[in-house]
Amino acid sequence: MRKMIFVIILVLGGCNKTSQNDQYALAQQLVNQNILIDGYIDLPYRLSKENTDVSLSTSVGDFDVPRAKAGGLNAPFMSIYIPAEKEVDGTATEYANQLIDRIEDLVTAHPNIFAIPNTLQQLNNQVEQGKISLPLGMENGAAINGSIETLRHFQRRGVRYITLTHSKSNHISDSSYDESRPWGGLSDFGSQLVMEMNKLGIMVDVSHVSDKAFWQVLEISSVPVIASHSSARHFTPGFERNMSDAMIKALADQGGIIMINFGSTFIINSAIL
Ligand SMILES: [Zn+2]
């Protein structure tokens, strides 16, 4: 059975043609020998906005089957992304269900191409069958709506990680983007939620949370946590959205991982743009 990896392959700028070919061959070897996972793809949101058949090549967006196959991508997490305003207007839970429906529709339309895994074993089996396995990750815990029963509901629907908050502080956690920090990290419910997620096997995602919330999560969580799409603050001083070296080391010490977001706004110091 192939090992599961979260791969970051860097092709260094300025290298000559031969070394580029070597690195391409190494990248192909890595993806052929391992299960390639992407921690965050915004396909559900895209499918909610446009009627696109991603089983075919598409001219917009960053995901379709031909490109996924060409790149050796086996298991991209589908982001159930909840805009911050959905918590304010009370529609976050309903909206999350609608986005999961879109992915279930996709699997129904193309059962030979896609599947949603409930367990690691199922993910492995789906990849062995040549399918693209689509685990679900929820970006913004607003949809939990202060209810552990709702958390269980989304666990049953396949959600396997939750990014505690997004662009605004919510009822769970302060956000790195928000000047308003009502909780000084996690709310009381947020602390309870982390423990319940541990019990249910839903990974805690610290991308987007404030530094205080990050350190509290590490204190509370009994299992490793992830950063599904963060980058290194070392290269973007003062940009709290990214993680400091100390945070990255502490995450790793607990067995967690950080997946790097390559969007240029996350890796270039805006002060020097
Ligand atoms: Zn994000």
pLDDT digit string, tens, across residues 206-254: 999 999 999 999 999 999 999 999 999 999 998 999 999 999 999 999 9
143 and 180, same domain (yes or no): no
Torsion, Cα 169 175 180 184, to 10 degrees, reads: 100
Ligand 1 centroid, distance to 1 Cα (angstroms):
32
Separation of alpha carbons 246 and 143, rounded Å: 31
The predicted structure's pLDDT at residue 264: 80
146 and 209, same domain (yes or no): no
The predicted structure's pLDDT at residue 13: 45
Please check the confidence at residue 147 and state whether its pLDDT lies above 70. yes
State the residue range of the domain holding 174.
Answer: 170-273
The predicted structure's pLDDT at residue 48: 92
CATH number for the domain spanning 58: value is: 3.20.20.140
The predicted structure's pLDDT at residue 208: 95
The predicted structure's pLDDT at residue 10: 44
Ligand 1 centroid, distance to 261 Cα (angstroms):
9
The predicted structure's pLDDT at residue 263: 81
Residue 237 contacts residue 216 (beta carbons within 8 Å): no
Ligand 1 centroid, distance to 264 Cα (angstroms):
14
Segment 130-136 mean pLDDT: 98
**Domain annotation covers residue 2:** no
**Domain annotation covers residue 65:** yes
The CA radius of gyration of the chain, in Å to the nearest whole number, is: 19
Domain boundary residue among 116, 131, 163?
163
The token pair that represents 11 in the structure block: 């092709």
Domain boundary residue among 163, 196, 219?
163
**Domain annotation covers residue 15:** no
Segment 173-187 mean pLDDT: 97
Please check the confidence at residue 273 and state whether its pLDDT lies above 80. no
The model's confidence at residue 16, banded by pLDDT at 50, 70 and 90, is: low
Please check the confidence at residue 14 and state whether its pLDDT lies above 60. no
Distances (CA, A) of 51 to 27, 94, 109, 136, 264: 33, 20, 13, 20, 28
Ligand 1 centroid, distance to 148 Cα (angstroms):
23
Q: How many helices and strands in the chain, by DSSP H and E?
A: 11, 10
Please check the confidence at residue 110 and state whether its pLDDT lies above 50. yes
Ligand 1 centroid, distance to 34 Cα (angstroms):
26
The predicted structure's pLDDT at residue 6: 52
112 and 44, same domain (yes or no): yes
Count of structural domains within the chain: 2
**Domain annotation covers residue 71:** yes
The predicted structure's pLDDT at residue 227: 96
196 and 106, same domain (yes or no): no
Ligand 1 centroid, distance to 229 Cα (angstroms):
7
Regarding pTM above 0.85, the answer is yes
The model's confidence at residue 5, banded by pLDDT at 50, 70 and 90, is: low
Ligand 1 centroid, distance to 137 Cα (angstroms):
11
The strands making up 203-205's β-sheet, listed across from edge to edge, are: 3-5, 34-41, 75-81, 136-139, 159-163, 203-205, 226-230, 257-260
Separation of alpha carbons 111 and 47, rounded Å: 17
- β-sheet bridge partners, residue 34: 3
250 and 153, same domain (yes or no): no
**Domain annotation covers residue 55:** yes
159 and 222, same domain (yes or no): no
Ligand 1 centroid, distance to 118 Cα (angstroms):
23
Please check the confidence at residue 65 and state whether its pLDDT lies above 80. yes
Separation of alpha carbons 217 and 219, rounded Å: 5
Strand segments, DSSP code E, in the chain are 3-5, 34-41, 75-81, 114-115, 132-133, 136-139, 159-163, 203-205, 226-230, 257-260
The model's confidence at residue 11, banded by pLDDT at 50, 70 and 90, is: very low
Provide the mean pLDDT of the chain.
Answer: 92
Domain boundary residue among 163, 178, 204?
163
Please check the confidence at residue 9 and state whether its pLDDT lies above 70. no
**Domain annotation covers residue 110:** yes
Cβ neighbors of 251 (< 8 A, separation 6 or more) are 206, 218, 224, 225, 227, 243, 257, 258
The model's confidence at residue 268, banded by pLDDT at 50, 70 and 90, is: confident
The predicted structure's pLDDT at residue 267: 83
Residue 171 contacts residue 87 (beta carbons within 8 Å): yes
